[in-house]
Amino acid sequence: MLVAQISDIHASPDSASLDVLAEAISWLDTLRPDALVITGDLVDDGWRQGYRRIVQSLQSLSCPIHILPGNSDRQDLMRSELGDVARWPSSTGPMHFLSAIGDVVLVGLDVTVAGQSHGDALPHLQWLKDSLADVGGTALIFMHQPPFPIGIEVLDHAGCRNADGLLAVLDTAEKRPLAVLCGHVHRPVFGRLGSIAVQTCGSLCPPNPLLLEGRPDIAAIDAPSFLVHQIADGRLLSHVVSVPVSTPVQIDTGG
């Protein structure tokens, strides 16, 4: 079972992100994953045409596609423009999704907070608890903002709040999810929340520099990237696939 994850395209009329997306999709056309999840921040500044161009890029894929909003997205435009490639169970409210692909269940948890860069798991814990109660196989949780500090101060102010409540739900689920898979920080990062693996997917827009411990002098040399998750026998392996076509930029505190 292969689940591809793309995040943080941040398409805008003057960025190369849509070209990077086209390269990533072309590669995925050959890989033929079983599903694709996009973990938010598809466009900047409510660029309606950007959503339409993303749909055009995605249409060559034959697998199911699931999309979460990020803090940069316009959820009304996502619903009106992305309907040809993605669906959400509810036409209003949080844009969660729940999808069984074989014996793997993909759980999309929309933790975005209107008008804010940070996320918040608290309002969605009951939905998550109820959803996990029905999962008999392996679950993967997808979110936009990660529920752990990355170590880059400006990004950590914009993480997902109420991680303790989230962990309590995950820890007490009859079958604990394999991992929590996020976006938002524009870098691939691998850590844990309690005993549960948490990862962030790299971005298709230019990555953020690794400004650990307040260091202002570390330039970004990374390429845009995405993840391919391989699930077999209840185990998860996540592969980073980079798309080396961008120019490093200053850190994006908006995530």
Given candidates 184, 186, 187, 229, which one binds Fe ion under the rule CB under 5 A?
184
Tokens of 105: 């269940």
Given candidates 39, 57, 71, 131, which one binds Fe ion under the rule CB under 5 A?
71
At 80, phi and psi to the nearest 5?
-80, -25
List the beta bridge partners of residue 3: 35, 229
Closest CA to 247 of 226, 223, 229, 225: 223
| Residue 108 in the binding site for Fe ion (CB under 5 A) | no
Exposed (0-12), middle (13-18) or buried (19+): which is 92, by Cβ within 10 Å? exposed
Stretch that binds Fe ion, among 14-22, 90-98, 216-224, 247-255 (CB under 5 A): 247-255
Nearer to Fe ion, 9 or 178 (CB): 9
Stretch that binds Fe ion, among 27-35, 48-56, 177-185, 197-205 (CB under 5 A): 177-185
Residue 161 CB, shortest distance to Fe ion, in Å, is: 14
Residue 88 CB, shortest distance to Fe ion, in Å, is: 19
CA dist list (Å): 96 to 21, 68, 77, 123, 127: 23, 7, 16, 12, 9
Nearer to Fe ion, 146 or 255 (CB): 255
List the beta bridge partners of residue 105: 100, 139
Residues 31-50 that bind Fe ion (CB under 5 A): 41
Stretch that binds Fe ion, among 12-20, 66-74, 101-109, 149-157 (CB under 5 A): 66-74
| Residue 187 in the binding site for Fe ion (CB under 5 A) | no
CA distance 111 to 146: 10
Q: Report the residue closest to Fe ion, judged by CB.
A: 255
Given candidates 64, 70, 108, 119, which one binds Fe ion under the rule CB under 5 A?
70
Q: What is the SS3 assignment for 97?
A: strand
What is the binding site for Fe ion (CB under 5 A)?
Answer: 41, 70-71, 184, 255
